[in-house]
A and B are shown apart, each in its own frame.
Chain A
Amino acid sequence: MLKNIKTYFPIFEKYPDLAYLDSAATTQRPKSVNEAINQFNSFENANIHRGVYDLSNSATKKFEQAREKVARYIGSSNPKTIAFTSGTTHSINIIAYSFLKSTLNKGDNIVITLLDHHANFIPWQMIAQEKGAELRVVPINKKGDLDITSLGKMLDEKTKILSLNHISNSLGTVNDIHEIIDLGHKKNIPVMIDAAQSVAYYDLDILTFNYDFLAFSGHKMFAPFGTGVLYVAEKWIKSITPYNYGGGIIKNVSAEETTFSDYPFNIEAGTPNISGVMGLSSAIDFINTFDKAEMRQHISDVTHYCIEQLSTINDVKIIGTPEKRSGIVSFVVKDIHPHDVASFLNQDNIAVRAGMHCTQPLLMYLETPATVRVSFSIYNDRQEVDRLKASLVALIKFWT
């Protein structure tokens, strides 16, 4: 099924020589997703919820069907556990500000990890500082795996939430969220999972993992930018309050007071990204045509081949050797700054990312100012790794 996978993605028609190794930043968009967006914009466009004419009713129906599809995608039987947001960052901020902040007190603590993206770091830091709470950051070991013993010790009766990513966007570490969620729940602590890097390729079935909150972005799962999802477990739905105000989230408005709809509608003020949600719905259809285990196997094969090949270059040092790795590999090249590496790879039509990857605390701990990051998806192959290696070898020769 993955054999002619590139033909699904128009970008590779325009740039057949492009080795796109930056899917952790955003995945490429399949033709079917672009067509779904175009179909809505061209022939089905109307605002949702408040119209009584056919086009609006149809748009509303498709929008709510997309909510049901997202719910099914993560194994939730209740579509009202799903809110559409602009992305992972937005979803996490909603939980920080609309769920936790009002009940967070001085002396409480929030537990996150050193592997977390700034999106799952700064919102918690801000409300902790504002409320006089403590932000506890779970350390990692030398390999880049979370120190689970420390994590267990950090959780106590004053911990109000544990929030962590499923996969590190910098090192590629796949966290054992099953075990970690259990650790949190044993102490009655709600657990939020940032699934930005895993949602496209991993089964995140709620019945298996039992997370309390789940956040992910559309654009890292073949859907358009500006789409995201927040899942809230039924037991917490009543605790989610509006964070911004406007049309579409109210039950009743008078000059004296306003009463609000229940979650998820109370956090979807204003007109949502309706065509984007159509694209997200189509992206789920696209993913569902594949076997996730086969997707992971393919990405794992390319990733391990990449590690094997990079390891043969003396001046290349791979950052992090986690026990379980996704399709993300960070590395540095001796005496060549990651930005210079990325720029020269670009000259050979190899797209990689260089920098801190929104994980400054992690890179500070690793005493690495920046890394080159390659990240693979289903459309990458071993030949692209060979090109990466050849380009790096040529660059090192040129540099010295």
Chain B
Amino acid sequence: MDVTKEEIQALYKAHILPENKHPYHFEAKEGTSVSFDAYNPMCGDKFHLYLNVVNDVFDTVHFDGIGCAISKASTSMLLKKIEGMSKIDAKAICEKFINNLTNDHQVDEFNDELNTLIALKHFDGRIDCIKLAWEALLNYLLVKDLEG
């Protein structure tokens, strides 16, 4: 482990636990223009994202499902970030965020809560939890969206 227990607890206390307890737009929303799963078969975390796209902009965004505190908080933070954002900008932010997660060192600055997620990449074995919804959205934007 690269970070101390106290540091992990501080990161959890600041952003993860509140977000886990009160996730953003955490409800099923049938009939949205876009919906897909963010699923990790290795651990069973599974969220369903309900995204309503108007004029290539994520107009309203919701999700539901089951996962750990980190994956749930991360999905919630992702949705807050992309609501009102164009698909092009959302794709760029997903790529930038994942890039900062997977590189040894963080090179870009984000808001406090996203910086917390990136700091938690050093929490053993949890990077997949952080990336889950971000990769699912990126996959949608890179593959499914292009397929029409």
Contact = CB atoms under 8 A, between A and B. Distances in A.
A257 to B, nearest CB: 43
A69 B115 CA distance: 57
Nearest to B5: A347
Interface stretch (A159-167, A264-272, A338-346): A338-346
B57 interface: no
B5 A339 contact: no
Contacts of A355: 42-44
Interface in B95-129: 123-126, 129
A359 to B, nearest CB: 11
Nearest to A395: B9
Contact of A356 (B12, B43, B68): B43
Contacts of A399: 17
Interface string B38-78: 00001111100000000000000000001111101000000
Interface in A326-369: 336-340, 343-344, 346-348, 354-356, 360, 363, 369
Interface string B120-146: 000111100100000000000000000
Given A355-B44, A356-B43, A340 B68 contact: yes
Contacts of A15: none
Given A337-B68, A398-B9, A354 B17 contact: no
**How many residues of B sit at the interface, in one of the four size bands?**
20 to 34
Contacts of A356: 43-44
B69 A347 contact: no
B5 A343 contact: no
B1 interface: yes
Given A346-B124, A347-B1, A347-B5, A336 B42 contact: no
Contacts, number: 44
Contact of A340 (B44, B46, B69): B69
A339 B17 contact: no
A370 B66 CA distance: 10
A339 B9 contact: no
A398 B5 CA distance: 12
Contacts of B66: 369
Nearest to B9: A398
Contacts of B70: 339-340
B44 A369 contact: yes
A343 B123 contact: yes
Interface string B1-44: 10001001100100001000000000000000000000000111
Across the A-B interface, give the 9 residue pairs with the lowest CB-CB distance, nearest first: A337-B68, A339-B68, A347-B5, A370-B44, A355-B43, A369-B66, A356-B44, A340-B69, A369-B44
Given A339-B43, A339-B45, A355-B44, 9 more contacts: A339-B68, A339-B126, A347-B8, A355-B43, A356-B43, A356-B44, A360-B44, A370-B43, A399-B17
